[in-house]
Amino acid sequence: MNKIAEERVHITANDTAHIDRSKQQKIAGISSVLGSTIEWYDFFLYGTMAAIIFPQLFFPQHDPYVATLLTFTTYAVGYVARPIGGILFGHLGDKIGRKISLVATLILMGAVTVLIGLLPGYEQIGFYAPILVTVLRFLQGIAIGGEWPGSVLISMEWGTNKNRGFMAALPQIGVPLGLILGTAITSLFINISGDSFQTWGWRVPFIFSIILVVIGLVIRFNLLETPSFQKALNEKELPKLPFVSVFKHYRKQVISGVFSNVSSDIAFGVFAFYTTTYGITFLGLDKSIFVNATLIGAVVAMFTIFTSGYLSDKISPKKILGFGNILLILWALPYFYLLNTKSTGLIFIAVIIAFFIHSIMWAPLAPVIASSFPAHLRFSGSAITFMFRGLIGGGLAPLISTFLLKKFDSGYAISGYIILAALVALFALRYVDIKYQKED
């Protein structure tokens, strides 16, 4: 271990020696939830705008189908970039520290999101507009590639053997909170700006991100490194390239982790984002119905994640995840049946139940993935697994859904896609080994 690392471990150990672990658990949990909320707010805000306005802003020369397809392609780019961010920040997190990586991801995400809000549209700069928005979306994906594993690990590794699953699930609450915040602010400015939403109203939620980033940085600068990371630095000669070691020694964990969790990301891509496009373009309904339904669904998900995370410690993360996939299979067809009624009340019921089911799977996903890897490779292993899962899951879900709807002219084709993903997840879950769930 080099001199700098030794000095940093010594300083960190002294700093944490007299700190009550239970108190630090609370700080880590709150910090991870708030930081994760900010990051996901930025990431999901793009998805919301991609569904309701970006086709007209950045791809106006194409017909509606092609414009929507191109918009969701830029949305998918964020998922393509995630594994790159996972490798980059995973290396940083396993070699230098969870805290440094988390601060870096927050700064990058905040800067990129503000720049999106300042971008000129196609009418102003022509084809440079879609190119620039794609580049910025790519950078968002790199940032989120390091955010998720960092926030999960710094919370989980401050936990104990009695509550590690719950602590790992806490940052997952940042997903519905970020979605709530992004959807609420979008809805607010749709109403405030009215006909001007397309000119300036859509920009404000992106620029607003700078305030959240400042708050997040204040919180994260007060974080301490976790006992697991300190122990790994003290006891192990860390590999020069952690991601290489992951692929060399933990391929099974990566593959089983990716496919056992892919259904949750596909479901989220459909429920949270594509449903709005489906409702507007296929059903001919007002976008506010789906924006508001998504908002309520995210509130329900927030409380469900708490419960599911708690049960993952009492029962088993794998069993809770499997149960959620079974519910997903059962709900995939009724979901589109209720949407097709065009009844506002039934649409709300469909979306709320969908978010409830997804959040059952979303909480145990974190301990299932993170506990599959030892501490000295946990950041890289978790990041690689989670990001490749997102790439083939949520990143492609809106694109595949758009294609299926065009091909079969029915939402039930998308139901079949969701069911197939859940069956794959149930099969892969049999090979998941979370032997590092109890340690430290």
> In the 3-class helix/strand/coil scheme, how is 385-416 assigned residue by residue?
HHHHHHHHCCCCHHHHHHHHHHHHCCCHHHHH
**Residue 63: its pLDDT value, please?**
67
The CATH code of the domain that includes 192 is 1.20.1250.20
Specify the pLDDT at position 16.
46
* The pLDDT of residue 4 is above 60: no
Contact 257, 385 (CB under 8 A): yes
Residue 11 lies in a domain: no
Domain that holds residue 36: 20-429
40-66 pLDDT tens trace: 787 778 777 876 777 778 777 666 777
* Token duo for residue 173: 């609450």
Mean pLDDT on 15-29 = 67
Alpha helices in 53-157 (DSSP H): 54-58, 64-95, 98-117, 122-125, 128-156
Judge if pTM exceeds 0.85: no
What are the DSSP calls for 303-318, one per residue?
Answer: HHHHHHHHHHHHS-HH
pLDDT at 415 over 90: yes
**pLDDT value, residue 75:** 67
Q: Decide if 136 is inside a domain.
A: yes
Residue whose structure tokens are 């879900």: 397
| pLDDT above 70 coverage of the chain, percent | 91
What average pLDDT does the structure give for the chain? 83
Whether residue 249 is contained in a domain is answered as: yes
Average pLDDT over residues 91-113: 85
In this predicted structure, the answer to whether residue 437 has a pLDDT above a threshold of 60 is no
Cα–Cα distance measured from residue 224 to residue 246, given in angstroms and rounded to the nearest whole number: 25
How far apart are the C-alpha atoms of 140 and 135, rounded to whole Å? 9
Query: What pLDDT band is residue 77 in, cutting at 50, 70 and 90?
Result: confident
Per-residue confidence at 7, pLDDT binned at 50, 70, 90? very low
Whether 204 is covered by a domain: the verdict is: yes
Domain total for the chain? 1
In tens, the pLDDT along 130-163 reads 888 888 888 988 888 888 788 888 888 887 777 8
Write out pLDDT tens, residues 335-362.
Answer: 999 999 999 999 999 999 999 999 999 8
In a domain? residue 324:
yes
The residues near 236 (Cβ < 8 Å, ≥ 6 apart) are 376
Give me the pLDDT at residue 438, please.
58
* Domain-embedded: residue 6: no
| Mean pLDDT, residues 83-102 taken together | 83
CA atoms within 13 A on the CB side of 79: 25
Sequence-separated (6 or more) residues with CB below 8 Å from residue 136? 112, 115, 116, 119
The reported pLDDT for the residue numbered 27 is 77
What phi and psi, each to the nearest 5 degrees, are found at residue 410?
Answer: -155, 135
Examine the pLDDT at 6 and tell me if it is beyond 60: no
**Amino acid 19: pLDDT:** 59
Mean per-residue pLDDT for 225-248?
78
Contacts of 4 by beta carbon, 8 Å cutoff, 6+ apart:
none
What distance in Å separates the CA atoms of residue 380 and residue 376, rounded to the nearest whole number? 9
pLDDT of residue 9: 44
Could you tell me the end-to-end alpha-carbon distance of the chain, in angstroms, rounded to an integer? 21
Q: What digits encode the pLDDT tens for the residues 262-292?
A: 999 899 889 987 888 899 889 999 878 888 8
Residue 156 belongs to a domain = yes
Structure confidence at residue 41 (pLDDT) = 84
Q: Report the range of poorest mean pLDDT among 229-233, 300-304, 357-361.
A: 229-233
